[in-house]
Structure 1
Amino acid sequence: MVATTLILLQLLTLPVQDVALAEPIPPADARTLATHLSEPCPIGTNHFSDIQYETVPLDDFRTNIEQKVCTDPDTKIAFVHNVIESNATDHFTFAQQIYFEVLRETPAHKRFGIIEIEAINTLPLVPEEQKSEWKTKIESKDKSLAHDIAYFWSIRDPVRSTQINERLSEHWQRIAHARKNYTKNTDGLYGTDDRGTIFVRYGKPTIERSGLLSPSNTEIRSKLYDLSFFKGGIDPRELYNLNMSIKQQYMPKYYEVWVYRNIEKKQPLIFIFGESANKGTFGLRKSLEDFIPNGSFNMGISSSWRYDTGPRGLTAGPFLQMALYDRLSTIDIFFGKQLASYEDNWMKYMRGHLNFNSFKMISRSPQAEMALQRLQDRAPESNSTMEERLNLISQHYKSYRFLDEENNPYRKLVLFSNPHNNLISYDAVISQHQKPVYKLTASVDAVNREGRSILIDKQETFLRGDLPGTIATLLSIPKQSATASDSSKAIMISSEVSRIPQLKGEESEADRYILASAVSRIQESSPLNSSSDKIEVSDIIWGYRGKEKTNQIEEFHFIIPPDDRLPQGENLAVYFETYHLNAGTDSLYQYQVEYSIHRKKRRKLRDTGIRLTLNLSSASDRGSENIEIQTADLETGSYRAVFRFLNPEIPGTTEERYIDFQIEDQP
């Protein structure tokens, strides 16, 4: 509708001589008309509507945009949509470039339609807690929504250094696949049936089963056999009537079951698609009961026994329930559990532990629908399968809060990357006479309100010969990115490994190709106190002075472990900074540090006898210390080191920090 309106507006604004007035243009010719009127810059259209519009070839279209022949945002979005439609991956990088340009520039003009279309198309992937905010912005035509879309995709980019956003590319490829393969109807958001929406959200299912959903005859016969002995048995003619009722009231319908086992660890995610027994439309079903006609739960063996509260009042519905769940019980335990629940109620009824009305009420209750809904509600809004295609590095980080020389808060990050396992297979293809040289790039970037990625810090480590295990890299986040006050910003930390070219002609390929990567979003934390009214202390960085050099940070002169383990026989090394000190009578800034080591046992702290008070001084109102605590003689177990910082010039002003660690045997 949006596109058709735009075409009509173009017709109204054309000179009279450019419009053929001989006869009205039939609707069937609308595509040709749109192409003719809009070349060389095809008009922007809703790519996911039922009406599709032809365009000039993509190569020519791109050239016109690059050469500024086509500058209108509608036109640029039309190019993006046609790239998606044709799954033209060779144009993805350029398409994403102009896609983000339009989103960032759109608030400057009045075309909210572009924002609305892109927001609606992205909405199924948005976390539930943000959906209402997006919907409100769509209804109020809030142009800041454009930046929300750009931000949404920017923080999901799995490889930060490349020009292309691989997660957005995956999304576009899923849309193209869905539009090609899931078109039993085009009522869905992406011009597909409901399968297309689920595919765009979660990708290819782990298990996919489809066909005509016919009930299990074995299950039905076994239940009719149970009835033949119910309280001395019932008339065989009535059993025959019930069997015929079951067969007559159910017509096998086409179904599909999708099971995802790679999204939730504890339980699978299941979707059921098929033709509704009551409406006849194909779509997402709430449960297998949607394949059973409503009348199957209303009519008894015969109309004369309709109000019977005994076996003659049984309907086809409960039998079909058990038969359908039995048919699909081999797909996933979910269906087996529902079958077991229905059969348990059946046996209670057969044994007289459940009266007829209760049995009938349970059969008609939406218990299976509610169970399936719970599975779907617990799942994330979307899932990427990039892990299966990217060589993801195992990484994590430790974050520490500090104040700079001007008392502005910032953070130090120690990033632990372990690329070794990722590159073993790659090493296998390298000549054994030539040891490969790798480059590990650790970086931190901030994504601002407009979805722009701004590099904050980057460190490179060259790895020669055999790859080490975990590698520690120190990074910093300055004040403008360290605070947690701006909830619309995200700080991303990443590791990327590339191979340094050893042969001539490899340079360009090596620069483009990332062998392994990882990215994480840094959790927000409250910054340190910047005011000078009381003593303030940084977070404590701790480690030990071992022989290995892999995780040794030069700034602190000790090894920082990637976890909370301290090898037995090693002394605890700590680094901290103090701020807002007061000068004493000798013009030095004095402060005290009291520390004690406690054994953690049964949720209680037991004194180990290791405690000391240090009287320290600094030439300025801030100090920094590297100290070593004698823990080499402690036995294995869990411990806590408690530090109290005092400013003797201002009695009663103290600050406390603690660290937990495990002493374990050295391997």
Structure 2
Amino acid sequence: MGRWQFAGALVALLLAAGKVKGQSQDSLQLVQAFQAYQTGRYEVAAAILQPLFEEQPVFQIRPIEGSVAYWLGAAYQAQGAIEEALNTWQQGVHSALTQGAVDVLATDAYVETVFRQACSERFAEAALFYELLLRIAGTPMLSDELQRLRRHVARMIFLLPDVLQQRIWTRERRFLPDAGARLMQWWAQQDPLPATPLNERIVEHLQRVAYAEQHYASDRTESGLDERGIVYVRLGPPSRIKKLDFYSRELQEALRRLRRSSGNALIVSESDFAPGELWLYDRSVPGGPYYFLFVYDGNMYRQGGVLDLIPPHLRVGLDGDTGRGGAKIDVLLEVLRAVYRQLAPYHLDFSDRYIRVDNYLGQLEEIRIQLERNIGGELYTQDKRSDNSALVQQEGTPFTTEGTPDVFLRSLLAETEREDALNRAEMAARIPRQQSRWLDQKPRLPVVARVARFLRSDGFTENLIYWAAPVGALLQDLEDSEKPGDFLIDLQVVRQKTDYRVAYRTSQLYRIPSRLSEQGPVIPTRSVTVPADTGVYHIALQWDQYTLAQREGKWQAGEHLKTSVARFDSLRALRADPAVLEMSDLLPLWYDPSASDTLPGRPYPFTRLSPDVPLALYFEVYHLSFGPDDRTRYEVAYEVRRREDGGLLRRDREVQTRSSTVYEGTSRTAREYVVLDLRAWERAKDLEVVVRVRDLVSGQEVSRSIRFEVVRS
């Protein structure tokens, strides 16, 4: 008797014995429906459950795990009524939420089915339901509920940094108390479009999981996926998949040739070769291009090396001094040539080794032909050594450049094992844990942005976000017929708390005129201010470019064209304590002494600059101390650290320039700027500017820094 049948029988016995108090009729109906479901009578189960569902969708009894809503949905699903099943689970989840609970089984079933069936109109709600499941990780739940939650986490845990993985669960897969909060915080960080209520990265993840479950499943892993499925969930679909079939016509012909020439009786059949797949990722994924080699080990596909593709019986007993060992060496050389022949077009790691083994076997064939010509017939060897080994040791016969076949083979196998291990280690360090391609669905608007924090008089921090974009980027990828007169850029700004919950939203609309080229190569710098609380916070930005359309006499957003996003994580509010010297961030300016506003120029958001840019750095100092004369006295020092081109055949060199000035004032807040003449640093590749302020009255010191890449004009 299975676990579920046993549960149904136990509940029936408890009811008969009067051990289940209250709602006995509902309990009996649930047991009857449960037993009908277990025996495949799904219509009967649905008919029994439907009236009970209308009254109490979340009703359930122990030891049956699952609510009325879950089992009714399961009965509908078993009959192929997917929409009815989804609607039932959806209502059950919402009913449980009104009672402050999460119906784990119904929630899990809804999420799994929505993405398995690709019900795109339900993706948004399914993603929210997925978050419900993760939030309760670490809280008490029934065994079947825990099993389903573990499966979801097992399908994403490999995306997380190692340190975070250790804070989710133990080695025994027991969730730690705050696992749910940590999982939700990590997912919030991955949100590619922070201005939308939906976390699109979760949708992308669940789509990948559903595909991997259908194509790369394994019943031997906690996640239910083999190692191909894990890579698919991490990085998405590869650029190319090459299914490997080494038992080719070339190999079969080579083996027949060996049998004819030496009587080699070693048989190699197609079934001796493990199935393999080569996955290729191009440069669209950071760190690319790179490859994954998967080999079927009899149970599942695992990531492996070239030697894992070789039939096991060929990898042992490679003794060139025995007849069978020599025969294996001859066959293995041909097998390696066949393996590398298939792999060679896809990576230099393989092509170099293919050339080596092919050249070696080619030399052996030339020696064979020469000897047969000398003796006037086919060459047969009667000793116990490898035919090829005997071949290259015939008296008066020229040696190959790499020695006898057993020597060459040992060298090649050692090189293969060593290079494969090095390549796997290198790729493991280079390949990202996970890669989202959600933003690849729309053309990107290359916006550049910076943020500078300032302290307001009320003690709160204000964030000045300033940004710009190249003019040409607005028109790029658009056909002439599609280029509108004006554009509309919608900027959405979200400030998030330490745990990435949304604390503040604001938006700005910018109308970008059609005659942009007359204003310069970039959109004039725009800015927006965002207030912040104390402590650590995060700011996410999203720009959306639209055509500007006129409808019913009003201008409004038309077709959506491009998107850009930026994040500033782990910002810390400036210190409001008046006893502690504090300083704003450095605000780079395109210096203009004639500027009429409070700043001597306009903000410069770019990370690159040329020597002809008139650069100034504006900053504010807070909480200066008064001296005995009721005046402040402070020193401003700046240091420019730059890396200069050392010229041909010389290393780059690090150069530092320092300067300082002492100021006095009558206010505890100072507003200063320094102007940098970059023309003196024409050979610089990049530079870092550090500004230090020392309060000469209190002795306190504070500093800020900023970096740039220097380009020629």
TM-score interval, normalised by the smaller of the two chains? 0.7 to 0.9
Partner of 1:171, secondary structure, is helix
Paired residues for 1:50-69 under 5 Å: 57=84, 60-61=87-88, 64=91, 68=95
In structure 1, what is the Cα distance between the partners aligned to 2:225 and 2:692?
Answer: 63
In structure 2, what is the Cα distance between the partners aligned to 1:247 and 1:367?
Answer: 26
Partner of 1:153, secondary structure, is helix
Partner of 1:328: 343
Partner of 1:381: 433
Deviation at 1:438, TM superposition (A): 0.2
Partner of 1:231: none
Q: Does 1:240 align with 2:282?
A: no
Which of residues 173, 187, 193 in structure 2 aligns to 1:139?
173
Deviation at 1:385, TM superposition (A): 2.1
1:461/1:5 CA distance change after superposition, 3 Å: farther
The residue identity in structure 2 corresponding to 1:271 is: F
The residue identity in structure 2 corresponding to 1:18 is: Q
Partner of 2:649: none
Which deviates more from structure 2 when the two are superposed, residues 495-504 or residues 540-549?
A: 540-549
Which of residues 127, 140, 143 in structure 2 aligns to 1:96?
127
Paired residues for 1:614-633 under 5 Å: 615-619=663-667, 621-625=668-672, 627=673, 629=675, 631=677
1:618/1:475 CA distance change after superposition, 3 Å: farther
Contact 1:300 1:314 in 2 (8 A): yes
In structure 2, what is the Cα distance between the partners aligned to 1:9 and 1:395?
Answer: 64
Q: Does 1:587 align with 2:587?
A: no
Deviation at 1:286, TM superposition (A): 0.9
1:337-385 deviation line (CA, Å, top 9, x unaligned): 3434656898899446579468437527734652553365231222222
Higher RCO, Cα 8 Å, sep 6+: 1
1:500-539 deviation line (CA, Å, top 9, x unaligned): 54224999985xx753222333254677666666644333
1:93/1:586 CA distance change after superposition, 3 Å: same
Partner of 1:497: 545
1:13-48 deviation line (CA, Å, top 9, x unaligned): 774753788997695628668756765456559x9x
The residue identity in structure 2 corresponding to 1:452 is: R
Contact 1:103 1:150 in 2 (8 A): yes
In structure 1, what is the Cα distance between the partners aligned to 2:614 and 2:522?
Answer: 23
Deviation at 1:157, TM superposition (A): 1.7
Partner of 2:346, secondary structure, is coil
In structure 2, what is the Cα distance between the partners aligned to 1:37 and 1:9?
Answer: 20
Partner of 2:65: none
Partner of 2:616: 573
1:340/1:160 CA distance change after superposition, 3 Å: same
Deviation at 1:577, TM superposition (A): 0.9
Paired residues for 1:39-438 under 5 Å: 40=53, 57=84, 60-61=87-88, 64=91, 68=95, 72-74=102-104, 75-104=106-135, 110=141, 113=146, 115-136=149-170, 139-182=173-216, 194-210=227-243, 212-215=245-248, 217=250, 221=254, 239-242=261-264, 244-245=265-266, 247-248=268-269, 251=272, 254-262=275-283, 264=285, 267-273=288-294, 275-276=296-297, 279=298, 281-299=299-317, 305-306=323-324, 311=326, 314=329, 316-340=331-355, 350-351=400-401, 356=406, 359-360=409-410, 363=413, 366-367=417-418, 369-371=420-422, 373-374=424-425, 376-378=427-429, 379-405=431-457, 411-418=463-470, 421=473, 424-425=476-477, 428=480, 430=482, 435-438=485-488
Deviation at 1:8, TM superposition (A): 7.8
Partner of 2:29: 18
Contact 2:543 2:564 in 1 (8 A): yes
Partner of 1:272, secondary structure, is strand
The residue identity in structure 1 corresponding to 2:697 is: E
In structure 2, what is the Cα distance between the partners aligned to 1:23 and 1:136?
Answer: 35
Deviation at 1:82, TM superposition (A): 2.0
Partner of 2:697: 649
In structure 2, what is the Cα distance between the partners aligned to 1:23 and 1:475?
Answer: 59
1:594/1:425 CA distance change after superposition, 3 Å: closer
1:320/1:548 CA distance change after superposition, 3 Å: farther
Contact 1:401 1:528 in 2 (8 A): yes
The residue identity in structure 1 corresponding to 2:250 is: N
Contact 2:486 2:548 in 1 (8 A): yes
Partner of 2:166, secondary structure, is helix
Partner of 1:298, secondary structure, is coil
Partner of 2:566: 520
The residue identity in structure 2 corresponding to 1:259 is: L
Partner of 1:373, secondary structure, is helix
Q: Give the TM-score, by structure 2 length.
A: 0.71
Which of residues 538, 541, 545 in structure 1 aligns to 2:587?
541
Q: 5+ unaligned residues in a row in structure 2: which ranges?
A: 15-19, 58-67, 365-388, 390-399, 647-652
In structure 2, what is the Cα distance between the partners aligned to 1:604 and 1:192?
Answer: 50
Partner of 2:62: none
Partner of 1:232: none
Deviation at 1:441, TM superposition (A): 0.3
Contact 2:544 2:563 in 1 (8 A): yes
Partner of 2:502: 453
Partner of 1:558: 602
Q: 5+ unaligned residues in a row in structure 1: which ranges?
A: 226-235, 484-488
Which of residues 487, 504, 513 in structure 2 aligns to 1:464?
513
Tell me which structure has the larger Cα radius of gyration. Answer: 2
In structure 2, what is the Cα distance between the partners aligned to 1:535 and 1:26?
Answer: 71
Partner of 1:57, secondary structure, is helix
Contact 2:244 2:276 in 1 (8 A): yes
Deviation at 1:92, TM superposition (A): 1.3
Q: Number of residue pairs matched? A: 626
Partner of 2:345, secondary structure, is coil
1:120-155 deviation line (CA, Å, top 9, x unaligned): 222233334433333428723324222233223222
In structure 2, what is the Cα distance between the partners aligned to 1:73 and 1:553?
Answer: 59
Partner of 2:114, secondary structure, is helix
In structure 2, what is the Cα distance between the partners aligned to 1:401 and 1:110?
Answer: 45
Partner of 1:233: none
Contact 2:468 2:522 in 1 (8 A): no
In structure 2, what is the Cα distance between the partners aligned to 1:473 and 1:573?
Answer: 18
The residue identity in structure 1 corresponding to 2:350 is: F
Contact 1:545 1:557 in 2 (8 A): yes
Contact 2:625 2:632 in 1 (8 A): yes
Partner of 1:136, secondary structure, is coil
Deviation at 1:90, TM superposition (A): 0.4
1:197-221 deviation line (CA, Å, top 9, x unaligned): 4333322221122263325737984
Which deviates more from structure 2 when the two are superposed, residues 101-110 or residues 157-166?
A: 101-110
